[in-house]
Amino acid sequence: MAGALSGVLAYLGCGLLGFVGAPRAFSLLALVAGVGSLLSWAPGFPEALVGGLPWGIAVAADGWTLGLWALGLFLHAVLLIHARDRKDSFHPLTTVLIGTCLAAALSRDLFNLYVLLHLTSLLALVLIASGRRLRAIWAGVQYLILTQVGLTLYLFGLGLVYGRLGTLSISSLAGRGVDLGDPTLAVGVGLLLAGAAVETGLFPFGLWLPQAHGQAPTEVSVLLSGIVVKIGAVTLARLAEAFPVGNVLVAMGIVTGFGGILYALWERDLKVFLGFHTVSQLGYILIGIGLGARTGALLYAVAHGLFKGLLFLAAGEAVEGCGERRIAGLAGRLSAPVAVALGVGTWAIVGLPPLAGFAAKGILAQGAPVWTKSVLVALSLGTAASFAKLIPLLRPRGRGRVGGLALLETAVIGLGGGVTLLAPERLDLRAWVEPFLIAGAGYALYLGLRLRRPALPRFTLDRALVSLLGAAIVLAGAISFAH
């Protein structure tokens, strides 16, 4: 525990010192301290109190902690390489944000998670608006408003749960075997789930996500999709430990998976398109959490952080290099490193072997009910259909900057290859053929849909608020009715 907390404190301290001077040097120092901290406690440590009884905060390190620490530190290293020339407050803000994420991954207390989610939202807002583009600033404002409403719901849920059970310790709640037959408690748990869903960016709770991730500066998009939304996901995983909400999370995962794909199919802005796919990919993670497939959900969260970080980094380079955001306007104009990175990221997110997406989807589907496997196949089909529109972008034209792209490509390939070798069932011929068949069917679906332009609702701030509150009411009511 002492080693883990020293890593968090090093990140927060170095981040604050970076505002005074030498921002990149202090950020690099934080990374070194973070890696040393991770090595000191990996693969985990049992629960302990920071501060002692009766007000101490429970912390522990499990598989989720290990995975998110490794992911956060790796993405930080990538951004230190890719954004080495930035002189503004990016590096100090990034360092403090990652430190906050590391602390959240350790937390075993629902109120402490609320505080850390709140801090994460504020830091992310500043980073989103740091590009000083009007659309980015407005996307950041919408993000702040919606997440603050979500966190208010979460706070009300905390009050109801604490009033009924007298504790917010995740381990204590899990040990009690909480029964949600009490309507007040059921509503409280529903509000907790709704608040965490908003922070995570689930459909239709967190409709801030596509625009915020799409309009943010390139490196910020990598952070948001790579690690920040995973803190919301780990909060949902902790809630699943404490309360019997597995079926609810599976249903939320299915809705967010297909909701994100529906909008991604017809989105024309490259970065906003990737934002919608962050929404859809979160569906896989929630389904895994809801089914109790912790290893599969965690592996997919890490894999997604890597290949979506790669996609956003490549997309940002494409948009900045060409001065064009429309997918159609970028065809045949990308440098070789950017085109290759988009190709590797697309290959991974579609789930083709032997990259990270293939390995993670295979582990996630192991032991799942037949109907769930059908849902996962349908999600993969939709993913392949929507990513087919990027094929014209994969024709390279000239040289360009590699930066952190190579590091992410290596990680996507290495994680996929390593897991595939360690899981013999992923070497089966059928396991390799099936993703290509799905990808082919997805391309055929794309050809059939590309000329259609359905009038999908556009989510302005007022509509997003109504959607959030309506979904929260439905969720709380459904949990009360089910129990």
Q: 444: domain range?
A: 247-451
Quick check: is 229 in a domain? no
3-class secondary-structure state, position 50: strand
Q: What is the pLDDT of residues 28-40, one digit of tens each?
A: 999 999 999 999 9
Quick check: is 375 in a domain? yes
Report the first-to-last Cα separation within the chain, whole angstroms.
38
Quick check: is 73 in a domain? no
Which of 175-184, 244-253, 277-286, 351-360 shows the lowest mean pLDDT across its residues?
175-184
- CA atoms of 279 and 271, how far apart (whole Å): 13
Asked if the model's pLDDT at residue 411 lies above 90, the reply is yes
Region for residue 403 given its phi and psi (left: phi exceeds 0; alpha: psi -120 to 50; beta: otherwise): left
How high is the pLDDT of residue 15? Answer: 92
Say if CB 315 and CB 342 are below 8 A apart.
yes
Quick check: is 330 in a domain? yes
The reply to whether the predicted model has a pTM over 0.75 is yes
3-class secondary-structure state, position 185: helix
Instruction: Please give the tally of structural domains in the chain.
Output: 1
Quick check: is 79 in a domain? no
Quick check: is 217 in a domain? no
3-class secondary-structure state, position 326: strand
Q: What is the pLDDT of residues 342-356, one digit of tens each?
A: 999 999 999 999 999
- pLDDT level of residue 368 (50, 70, 90 thresholds): confident
Residue tagged 């293939």 (tokens): 358
Tokens of 304: 């997604």
- pLDDT level of residue 106 (50, 70, 90 thresholds): very high
Tokens of 83: 């954004």
Quick check: is 373 in a domain? yes
Mean pLDDT, rounded, for 194-202: 92
Residue tagged 């701030």 (tokens): 461
Quick check: is 271 in a domain? yes
